[in-house]
Structure 1
Amino acid sequence: MKKDFFLRRSSCARSQSFINLREVSARLRLPPGEYLIVPSTFEPSKEADFILRVFTEKMSETNEMDDDVVANLDVEEEFSEGDIDHSFRAMFAQLSGDDMEISVRELQTVLNRVVSKHRDLQTDGFSLEACRAMVGLMDKDGSACLGLMEFHILWTKIRKWLGIFRDFDLDQSGSMSSYEMRLALENGGFKLNNCLYQMLVARYADKEVVDFDNFTCCLIKLESMFRVFQELDQNQTGTVELNLTEWLLMTMCC
């Protein structure tokens, strides 16, 4: 549940004393109904594992409150090279060189040069593997490089993701907590369940914080996998069938 949920509701019961102990327990008498149990850390904004045990005198049911997995991806607009303004064309020509295509290493150089100028961002720079993933997402002609239109689409996406990152870096630390990342991903069009969020944080967080390059890599991977699934799920059944070769091609290339 998000912050707004708790701002509009007060707790109906809580442990007797808010104290920094390994184990806290309470015996409560509550009328029948639906209840949300909220464990918390003693210090705010700390991540921790926990075990929650509930004993009841009468039969009761508990369920994990979770969301459906949904992606609202932007429709990719059709446009031609003539729609790209002259200043962007000039920048692309300067970055790409004589072959007029941006390779993985050239993309890494460009992106790291750009993010280094944003002093408010916490980042270790984009890795070569992250740039390969970006090229893989945008490369439509199989050249393993980005042409003018492909680079323009990627550049637009990164600018959008930069805006989302700044908007949801609530404490303006230059990085994201897992809570901020969850809000940012939802704003970016991805609604995931708890299991997926935990996996993404474990994969893309470093000491419980997510910097801009890892946030961007996470969005690239999510969008890529969702688009691949949607292409395979032509009848929109929510399931697809793959043979071993198809599975390997999809997972190794995305």
Structure 2
Amino acid sequence: MTWQQLNCESHEPRKLVILLQLYCTFISISCVREFFLVLKMSSEFPSREFLWDVFQRVDRDKSGQISADELQQALSNGSWTPFNPQTVNLMISMFDKHNNGTIGFEEFGALWKYVTDWQNCFRSFDRDNSGTIEKGEFQTALQSFGYRLSDHIVDLLIGRFDRSRLGAIRFDDFIACCIILHTLTNAFRERDTDLDGVITIQYEEFLSMILLSVIM
């Protein structure tokens, strides 16, 4: 992942436990925090001057706010494919504290760190540096996150998030896939009170659990 048309170098990851303060419409703050506690990957927070320079470049209309369209133009998958607008909208909703569909400078700083942390995570599992996560790499990532899923479920996930039909997942869709999987897993665990891997759930509760997790 790179920030398009911005001469910005990413900071090297450090082994830190991170606590992100997020505002999120679709997933809870605790859900995101717990996920990154599992990853234990965090980038160094850049200087305010650095962030301000980047913010001004991304804010193309000079409104003092960054819209989803502006953010999408600034983000790249490390290829010529545009960043998934639905993933962009997810991230905007996560950091938009004022619910106006845009993010200001302070919110942008938190989002920058969030995306950079995901970049570090993605690169650590993209062993062949192809810019995508293939099935074997994806299974390694899932196992590192604590998931033990069958080949059938892994294939379903790849099929669901492989927008380019390459048999692999790009960076933006990797973010969305991991967030949704983690959110659904947490929702299941909250209901699996006896930890036997089986829950009894009412129809509308099931729909609520799914709809609150689905962003794409």
TM-score normalised by the chain length of structure 1: 0.51
Aligned to 2:166: 207
Q: How many residues align?
A: 166
- Counterparts of residues 73-222 of structure 1 (less than 5 Å): 73-74=35-36, 85-96=48-59, 97-112=61-76, 115=77, 121-122=78-79, 124-187=81-144, 189=145, 191-194=147-150, 196-205=153-162, 206-222=165-181
Give structure 1 regions of 4+ aligned residues with deviation exceeding 4 angstroms: 223-227, 238-249, 251-254
Aligned CA-pair RMSD: 3.7
**Amino acid in the other structure paired with 2:175:** T
In structure 2, runs of 5+ residues without a counterpart are: 1-32, 38-45
Q: What is the letter of the counterpart of residue 171 of structure 2?
A: F
Shift of 1:102: 1.4
Q: How far is the alpha carbon of 1:199 from its aligned partner?
A: 2.2
Long gaps (5+) in structure 1: 1-70, 76-82, 116-120
Identity %: 22
Q: Measured at CA, do residues 216 and 250 of structure 1 come closer, stay the same or move farther in structure 2, by a change above 3 Å?
A: closer
> 2:48 & 2:143 partners in 1: Cα distance?
31
SS in 1 for 2:36: coil
Q: CA deviation at 1:196?
A: 4.0
Change (3 A) 1:201 1:87: same
2:126, 2:137 within 8 Å by CA — same for their partners in 1?
yes
Change (3 A) 1:253 1:175: closer
Report the CA distance between 1:245 and its aligned residue. 8.9
Distance 1:247 1:163, change over 3 A: closer
Q: Distance in 2 between matches of 1:193 and 1:169?
A: 19
Q: Using the alignment, how far apart are the partners of 1:249 and 1:210 within structure 2?
A: 22
Q: Which amino acid letter does the alignment assign opposite residue 149 of structure 2? A: N
Q: Is the 8 A contact 1:122 1:212 kept in 2?
A: no
CA distance in 1, matches of 2:108, 2:153: 29
What one-letter code is carried by the residue in structure 1 that aligns with 2:81? D
CA distance in 1, matches of 2:92, 2:75: 13
TM-score scaled by length of structure 2: 0.58
Aligned to 1:16: none
Q: Give the deviation of 1:105 after TM superposition.
A: 0.7
Asked whether the equivalents of residues 133 and 221 of structure 1 are also in contact (C-alpha less than 8 Å), the reply is: no
Query: Measured at CA, do residues 101 and 160 of structure 1 come closer, stay the same or move farther in structure 2, by a change above 3 Å?
Result: same
Higher relative contact order, structure no. (Cα contacts within 8 Å, ≥ 6 residues apart):
2
CA distance in 2, matches of 1:176, 1:248: 25
